[in-house]
Structure 1
Amino acid sequence: MPQSEQFTAPADTAVLERRTVPVDASVDDVLARMRALEATLPPRDGVAVFNRVYLAVTREVGRRIDGGRFTNAQAAITLDVRFAERYLAAVDPTPADRRPPACWRPLLQFRRHPGVRPLQFALAGINAHIGHDLALAVVDACRSLGCEPGDLEDEFDRVGDLLVALEERIREELMPGPDLLQIADPLTHLLGAWSLERARDATWTAARALWALRRLPDVAEEFTDRLDTAVGFAGRMMLTPLPD
């Protein structure tokens, strides 16, 4: 079955420095950009599937910030905005002369493949965003706030806990059916080897390593490239077309 058309979007041009939204941008600002993106995409498009998931996560983060659930609201806002910017830049169709990070290419390439199911699109997006973007977003936020990664650990953990809870809901909503059928479904086996909790733990380690390597740009670049490639490989496996 042929792959869908290639999609070209901007990629990182440097390891730890890139285009970002203004420091004073709010969660509402990134929500507006996600809604604008949603309005341009067909519902079955793979990016649209992930975007709906991410909208739900970002709305909940905003509600919890407004409700005083984060110890440091400014740190939570900065991390959330920097995190969202990584995703929005990856799927932005302009300029067309730059490629997206390797972690996003499988989703962008297979976004219209009829043999890929919505759950695969959703989890491949989560894999790219958590496995790669979040580590770099922690570094972005530390630069913006003038702090160390350890100062953001509480905010990181609270956002991660929300994502883990949401992952279960995504699986239930996008793969309905009797348990026996789910056990027999190849999608269950394909995705069973991936864990958001393990990915989140690995991301925190990667973020701390990148921060420690910030004065060694060559090593940091190699580290980031390897991380990007590995996460992209996992995403490609998640998007293996499956029979109905």
Structure 2
Amino acid sequence: MKQATTIDEVIQLLDEIIEKAKLDQSAIGLFTMLYREVTVQVKEGIQNGSFQNGERMEKLDVIFANRYLKAYYQYIAKEKPSECWGFAFEQAEDFWPIVLQHLLLGINAHVNLDLGIASAQVSTVEDIEDLKHDFDQINAILSNLVGGVEKCLIKIWPTLTWILKFTGKIDNFFIDFSMETARNGAWKFANEFVAIPENQREACLQLRDERITEIARLVSNPGYFVSAVFKFIRLFEKGTVAQKITDMQIAEEKGIECAAVA
């Protein structure tokens, strides 16, 4: 099972997953592409001094990424990853989820479960509050990328303008609500998890995983009206999965402030 030891290795492994996803036409590559851009921006932030503690941030980033990499390789090997990641990967094999849902499922598992754990692993009860600024910086990067998605979705949703008018930008609300809730919940969980004795952590993780999987089920089936809108959008999504990932890569290379989520 491949694991990274540096941010550069994280980016390399994410690139491998993205290329495999393009070959396999796998929607797993959609979140991976978004996450790669987050990782690149974290690396740049460390280099330009955006974080209070660059050394700690690289350690956090690698631990954080390795949780995703572990879940991915477990799934590929037909082993059992955490329940929320297993659900997200299974949805990637289904026709109906739109790009937005694939991204939200990845964000849900990675932020709501993995980020809290990684934050606790680089902290102690005494010093975790010192991490808050840098923790918020990571989430700001992710929020900014997801928040600019409309600029990148025009190619994927030919009917996007009409949908946004009709729904009152329901997609933005979905993203903003999810990100705010995920950020606050992840920080709360990190503070709880860092204080739990080692022999109780596995039970705590299992319970957290179950709760996050329930959120994933809501993302997958957000109610009759929203589900109907999403199905309509899905029917008019343009391009293969590989083309959607390529569109995201082009957008990233051009520096467009968005990341693939439709």
- Which of the five TM-score ranges fits, normalised by the shorter chain? 0.7 to 0.9
Pair 1:182-2:182 in alignment: no
Which consecutive residues of structure 2, in runs of 5 or more, have no partner in the other structure? Answer: 222-226, 233-262
Deviations 1:64-123 (A, max 9, x none): 111111121101111111111111111114783630111112221111222111111011
The answer to whether the 8 A contact 2:128-2:191 is kept is yes
Pair 1:203-2:186 in alignment: yes
TM-score, normalised via structure 1 length? 0.78
Give the match for residue 62 of structure 1. 43
Pair 1:170-2:152 in alignment: no
Query: Separation in 2 of the partners of 1:42 and 1:191?
Result: 29
Query: Separation in 2 of the partners of 1:186 and 1:128?
Result: 27
Query: Separation in 2 of the partners of 1:171 and 1:221?
Result: 39
* CA distance 1:80–1:181, change in 2 (3 Å): same
Pair 1:156-2:135 in alignment: yes
The answer to whether the 8 A contact 2:153-2:160 is kept is no
Give the match for residue 4 of structure 1. none
Stretch deviating more after TM superposition (38-47 or 69-78): 38-47
Instruction: Please identify which structure carries the higher helix content.
Output: 2
The answer to whether the 8 A contact 1:105-1:232 is kept is no
Residue 71 of structure 1 aligns to a residue whose secondary structure is: coil
Query: Separation in 2 of the partners of 1:185 and 1:169?
Result: 18
Stretch deviating more after TM superposition (39-48 or 181-190): 181-190
Query: Separation in 2 of the partners of 1:147 and 1:98?
Result: 36
Give the 5 Å matches for 1:63-78.
63-78=44-59
TM-score, normalised via structure 2 length? 0.74
Give the match for residue 8 of structure 2. 28
Aligned residue identity for 1:188: I
* CA distance 1:151–1:61, change in 2 (3 Å): same
Residue 83 of structure 2 aligns to a residue whose secondary structure is: coil
Aligned residue identity for 2:91: F
Q: 1:124 aligns with which of 85, 89, 105?
A: 105
* CA distance 1:85–1:187, change in 2 (3 Å): farther
Q: 1:239 aligns with which of 220, 233, 240?
A: 220
Give the match for residue 114 of structure 2. 133
The answer to whether the 8 A contact 2:108-2:212 is kept is yes
Output the aligned Cα RMSD: 2.9
Pair 1:213-2:213 in alignment: no
Query: Separation in 2 of the partners of 1:223 and 1:170?
Result: 34
* CA distance 1:140–1:162, change in 2 (3 Å): same
* CA distance 1:98–1:63, change in 2 (3 Å): same
Query: Separation in 2 of the partners of 1:138 and 1:214?
Result: 16
Residue 119 of structure 1 aligns to a residue whose secondary structure is: helix
Which consecutive residues of structure 1, in runs of 5 or more, have no partner in the other structure? Answer: 1-9, 11-18
Deviations 1:156-197 (A, max 9, x none): 111111111112023553475555522545993797284212
Q: How many residues align structurally?
A: 220
Query: Separation in 1 of the partners of 2:207 and 2:162?
Result: 38
The answer to whether the 8 A contact 2:74-2:80 is kept is no
Query: Separation in 1 of the partners of 2:126 and 2:14?
Result: 28
